[in-house]
Amino acid sequence: MRTSKGFKNPRAQHGFQGRTCSIVGVGAYVPEKILTNAELERMVDTSDEWIVSRTGIKERRLAAENETTSDMASLAAMRAMQNANITPDQIDLIIVATLTPDMMFPSTACLVQHKIGARRSAAFDIEAACSGFIYALEIGQQFIMTRTYNTVLVIGAEKLSTIVDWTDRNTCVLFGDGAGAAILQHRPDAHGLLTACMGAEGDKAELLCMPGGGSKFPTTAETVANRLHYLRMDGKETYKNAVTAMVTAGQEALRRCEIDISQIKCIIPHQANRRIIDAVADRLGAKPEQVFINLEKYGNTSAASVAIALEEAVRTERIKQGDLVLLVVFGAGLTWAAAVIEW
């Protein structure tokens, strides 16, 4: 099946004749508090010059102490619902992608369901670190394509400030808090997700992890003293793997849709590091003006990252109806994913 503009929709060919899944509304929320590089200079041995030249990040947002991941997720969700012109009782399913849930259980999605009053919906979380939003989009799309559900709410939300070691200059300069949401529906007259591909490499789990608090190292005075409840990262190895995986995922998504990179209006990569984004764009053969970047304002917000960027790109009309968009992400796991959307 081809879209009205002639693009191949691989999903619609696999037994889902005529069925498409559109993103009918997006929303985002970032906390008010801004933490600048200048403020970080007073917390750890770093400099604005180092952070900007190595990452591109100038500031990031921090949630208030009493503001949880589900609070931010709910605000992003309500904005997406308003945007899509739907009411909470229309939502059939809520999927929250996060690695910083409010609690180990119940799921953050259940807490969001209550906060937004989506009484009819099912709700669950998924954890694919920074790749979570595309993983969640792909899962949500399956329910739309199989006609199981009419309306799916997909959210990426993180309060990374709670797992960042604020004494570790190698990691604390990189991350921020926030949430982004999308409403998925089948619209007979519109297209949407053309394809999504996902991958993982579990043998590299150690590169980026938080060792404490799970079944391997349940919380004890010793795990706290050993700082096992903070995010740990081998930055250099993560960097190399990020570039390779994002390029591979991006190329695969384009190949499936028989689309050349020059046809993509807007590439929205995971907002982790400016140098990673530049390297990925270069290897994909993209021009700088095709690439959407807002990491200077928010840093790496993990599962929320591309969701927040997508909302901004739509709101500022970097993406207009009919444009082709490539989302490409990478995260702990290791995980990666890419999606092509006809907006």
Residue 308 and residue 298 in contact, taking contact as beta carbons nearer than 8 Å: yes
Which of 9, 21, 83, 130 is flagged as catalytic?
130
The answer to whether 331 contacts ligand ACO (rule: CB under 6 A) is: yes
DSSP-assigned states of every residue in 103-142 = SSSS-HHHHHHHHHT-TT-EEEEE--GGGHHHHHHHHHHH
Q: Strand 266-269 and strand 324-331: pairing?
A: parallel
Find the part of the chain contacting ligand ACO (CB under 6 A) among 30-38, 49-57, 64-72, 76-84: 49-57
Q: Which of 84, 163, 208, 309 binds ligand ACO (CB under 6 A)?
A: 208
Task: Respond yes or no: is residue 270 known to be catalytic.
Answer: yes
Residue selected from 170, 219, 220, 316 as contacting ligand ACO according to rule CB under 6 A: 170
Q: How many CB atoms lie within 10 A of CB 273?
A: 23
Q: Does 245 bind ligand ACO (CB under 6 A)?
A: no
Segment 2 to 41, residues that bind ligand ACO, using CB under 6 A? none
Q: Which of 186, 197, 270, 273 is catalytic?
A: 270
Q: What does the block give as tokens for 89?
A: 């009782």
Using rule CB under 6 A, residue 235 touches ligand ACO: yes
Q: How far is the CB of 236 from ligand ACO (least distance, A)?
A: 5
Which one of residues 70, 83, 300, 301 is an interface residue with ligand ACO (CB under 6 A)? 300
Cβ distance to ligand ACO smaller for residue 207 or 284: 207
Helix (H, G, I), strand (E, B) or coil at 64: coil
For ligand ACO, give the closer residue by CB, 183 or 329.
329
Bond preceding residue 106 cis, omega within 30 of 0: yes
Considering only residues 147 through 166, tell me which ones interact with ligand ACO, judged by CB under 6 A: none
Structure tokens of 285? 């053969």
- Residue 130 appears among annotated catalytic residues: yes
Q: Return d(Cα 258, Cα 21) in angstroms, integer.
A: 19
42 binds ligand ACO (CB under 6 A): no
Classify residue 7 by its DSSP letter: -
Are the C-beta atoms of 231 and 210 separated by less than 8 Å?
yes
Q: What is the spatial distance between Cα 53 and Cα 122, in angstroms, rounded to a whole number?
A: 44
* Interface residue with ligand ACO, options 118, 332, 337, 340 (CB under 6 A): 332
Residues in binding contact with ligand ACO, number by CB under 6 A: 24
**Cα–Cα distance between 86 and 81 in angstroms, integer?**
5
Nearer to ligand ACO, 92 or 127 (CB): 127
Q: Could you tell me the smallest distance in angstroms from the CB atom of residue 237 to ligand ACO?
A: 8
Does 216 participate in binding ligand ACO (rule CB under 6 A)? no
242 binds ligand ACO (CB under 6 A): yes
Query: Which of 290, 245, 249, 300 is closest to 268 using CA atoms?
Result: 290
The CA distance from 74 to 98, in Å, is 13
Distance, in Å, from the CA atom of 27 to the CA atom of 296, rounded to the nearest integer, reads 20
Q: Which of residues 81-140 bind ligand ACO (CB under 6 A)?
A: 129-130
Residue with tokens 């906390």: 31
Residues 254-273 that bind ligand ACO (CB under 6 A): 272-273
Residue of the chain from 10, 34, 41, 46 that contacts ligand ACO (CB under 6 A)? 46
Closer of 94 and 99 to ligand ACO (Cβ): 99
Is 238 a binder of ligand ACO (CB under 6 A)?
A: yes
Q: Residues 275, 312, 90, 97: what is their CA dihedral angle, to the nearest 10 degrees?
A: 20
DSSP label at residue 255: H
Give the DSSP letter of residue 215. S
The catalytic residue positions are 130, 270, 300
Which positions lie near ligand ACO, rule CB under 6 A? 46, 50-51, 54-55, 129-130, 169-170, 173, 208, 233, 235-236, 238-239, 242, 272-273, 276, 300, 302, 331-332
